[in-house]
Amino acid sequence: MKGRAVIATALLASATLVWAADKASEQSALQEWIPFDHPKLVALLEKIDVKDPYTLPDLEVRKDENYANTTVDVEPFGGVRPFNEFFLKQMEYTGPGRAEPEPEHLDTVKIGFIGPIMSTVSVATGGKSHEETLGIPMMQGARLALEQWNERGGYLKRKIPFEFVVSNDNGLWGASGNEIIKQNYRDRVWAILGTIDGANSHIAIRVALKSEVVMMNVGDTDPTFIETNIPWVMRNIGDDRQQSYLLVDYAYRKMGYKMLGIIRASNRYGRFGVREVRDSARRMGKPVPIEMAYKVGQEDFTLEIERLEKAGVDAIVHWGDAVEGAKILNQMRARGMKQPYLACDRCVQPDFARIAGANAEGVVCAYPWNPKSKAQLFQKFRNAYRARYGLEPETYAAHAYDGMNMVIWAIQVAGLNRAKIRDVLAYLPEPWPGVTGDITLSACLDDVGDVFLAEFKNGDWQYHSRTDLGIAKGYIPPRDRVSRPESEVALGGDPRAKRTKQ
């Protein structure tokens, strides 16, 4: 009897240790991010825990005061309030998915990834693909986050590991949609991260809408990506709209430039990237007199630079990849053009400084985060990334790491139910504490957190916030606006409707 008692005591002690280890594992996950038992999360879970597929939970529809922290003097319509202001009100998901139970038999919890990781040739992308140097670090950052969650115990509710399902975003028109279909119906992933190319991302998210799966974008800065108003789509990186606003504020409000010229890549990234620079300049009464486009992979920019020079601009904005950006800068300086050179975040890459050499000094780029942050969370990630890959983490790696952590955290909170995973991310109780800084999602689920300017100085990039630069942040409360009569609004917001009624 005494021996049995000893064995029973030992088994009890062993079980207690296992339980304590499990709780410690869960607690380690809680310490870095939003706690699983956050009161707002608990309240949300109670609302979305529906048994009837036709029951729509009573979720508050979030609404922003203005779109994307747009300063009043660069808002469209000249201060006149339009009939309908898009993207201020949260897009609801009203489907039946919340009532679906977790599947009974699972060996792993699959998370999808799509990004440019292998070189391809495509007419749609203008020839050979060129974004693999961005996509590979993005994949590495996402993989590192997933591996760390597996070290903590995987999917804690079932004690099964997460599995990384990777697809190449090869640039062929429509191919990204095919990859999303495969991940959804063959691999049966619970969420997807990706991608970088704007055109491919737009195709992918329309497939995500039909298949009802969360798609967390961690690399596409196209402002129109989130303007599709798809409730399954969100983005955790500051887009070109946010970055352009800071660049414009720096150029006009701080530096006092009178006239900007634009040179950009003739692809979707370049075309949509400069849109807010161009529109903001016009609305501030300083329209851009010239915008020159070049082909990706071009070597000689004589024609474009000559026309910029003749336009007499006092600063130049480049929007395209690092290699072309550096070559344009070198050819400008060789002609004796001394105008300040402002650029997009893709120029904050090693290739730019390597090719530009001494000409890189003084270049200023918009950038979605501060990679020189001293924050403990970032330093922990940096050390882990360097240990895993032997490299310094860059922007796509860091944002993918944050995106994977957000998705897996939401799965831990919501369980294996796609609609509930979406709800948890759409109703974050507070900004997400990421390694790239606090990620604040707007009502349309776009990151509107802080962005930075990167200045190449003394052989290295230095990062400056709005506060560092002395530039007022974000949205300024509007002046008195001209509003449409209520009678017109009541008739559908169209003055033609009023005339028809009369």
| C-beta atoms surrounding 186 within 10 Å | 9
Distance CA 279, CA 244 (A): 10
Q: What is the reported pLDDT for 84?
A: 82
Does 240 score more than 70 pLDDT? yes
Does 124 score more than 70 pLDDT? no
Q: How confident is the model at residue 485 (pLDDT cuts 50, 70, 90)?
A: very low
Q: What is the reported pLDDT for 73?
A: 85
Q: How confident is the model at residue 171 (pLDDT cuts 50, 70, 90)?
A: low
**DSSP states along 56-120:** PP-----B-SSSTT--GGGSGGGGBPPS--TTSBPPP--SSGGGPPPPS--S-EEEEEEE--S--
Q: What is the reported pLDDT for 478?
A: 57
Q: What is the reported pLDDT for 170?
A: 72
Q: Kindly report which listed range (174-178, 218-222, 238-242, 260-264) carries the lowest average pLDDT score.
A: 174-178
The whole-number average pLDDT for the span 131-148 is 96
Vertex 193 angle, CA 116 and 399, to 5°: 85
Query: Which element (helix H / strand E) includes 164?
Result: strand 162-168
The tally of CA atoms less than 13 A away on the side-chain side of residue 286 is 20
Q: How confident is the model at residue 465 (pLDDT cuts 50, 70, 90)?
A: very high
Q: What is the reported pLDDT for 83?
A: 82
CATH number of this structure's domain 47-63+106-238+373-439: 3.40.50.2300
Share of the chain above pLDDT 90, in %: 74
Q: How confident is the model at residue 14 (pLDDT cuts 50, 70, 90)?
A: very low
* CA-to-CA dists, residue 58 to 32, 40, 49, 64, 442, angstroms: 30, 14, 11, 19, 20
* CA-to-CA dists, residue 237 to 162, 244, 420, angstroms: 24, 14, 23
Q: Which of the two residues, 488 and 302, has the higher pLDDT score?
A: 302
Q: Kindly report which listed range (103-117, 222-236, 292-306, 484-498) carries the lowest average pLDDT score.
A: 484-498
Q: How confident is the model at residue 121 (pLDDT cuts 50, 70, 90)?
A: low
The whole-number average pLDDT for the span 460-465 is 97
Does 23 score more than 80 pLDDT? no
Q: Widest CA span of the chain, in angstroms?
A: 100
Q: What tens digit of pLDDT does each residue of 257-286 get?
A: 999 999 999 999 999 999 999 999 999 999
Share of the chain above pLDDT 70, in %: 85
Distance CA 324, CA 331 (A): 11
Q: Which residue has the tokens 């560092």?
A: 468
Using CA of residue 7, residue 11, residue 17, residue 20, what is the dihedral sign?
negative
Pick from 173, 269, 169, 287: nearest CA to 224? 269
Pick from 231, 237, 282: nearest CA to 260? 282
Q: What is the reported pLDDT for 476?
A: 62
Does 477 score more than 70 pLDDT? no
Say if residues 487 and 469 touch (Cβ distance below 8 Å): no
Q: How confident is the model at residue 6 (pLDDT cuts 50, 70, 90)?
A: very low
Q: What is the reported pLDDT for 236?
A: 98
Q: What is the reported pLDDT for 65?
A: 87
Q: Which of the two residues, 76 and 340, has the higher pLDDT score?
A: 340
Q: Kindly report which listed range (2-6, 340-344, 346-350, 414-418) carries the lowest average pLDDT score.
A: 2-6
Q: What tens digit of pLDDT does each residue of 39-56 get?
A: 999 999 999 999 998 899
Say if residues 467 and 457 touch (Cβ distance below 8 Å): no
Instruction: Delimit the CATH 3.40.50.2300 region(s) of the chain.
Output: 47-63+106-238+373-439, 241-367+456-469
Q: What is the reported pLDDT for 162?
A: 98
DSSP letter at 190 equals: S
Distance CA 211, CA 110 (A): 16
Six-digit token pair at 167? 């697809």
Using DSSP's 3-state secondary structure scheme, residue 367 falls into strand
Enumerate helices (H) and strands (E) in the chain, giving the number of each. Answer: 17, 16
Tell me the pLDDT of the chain averaged across its residues. 88
DSSP letter at 444 equals: T
Q: What tens digit of pLDDT does each residue of 392-450 get?
A: 999 999 999 999 999 999 999 999 999 999 999 999 999 999 999 999 999 999 999 99
Q: What is the reported pLDDT for 198?
A: 87
The whole-number average pLDDT for the span 339-353 is 97
DSSP letter at 432 equals: E
What CATH architecture is 241-367+456-469? Answer: 3-Layer(aba) Sandwich (3.40)
Say if residues 218 and 237 touch (Cβ distance below 8 Å): yes
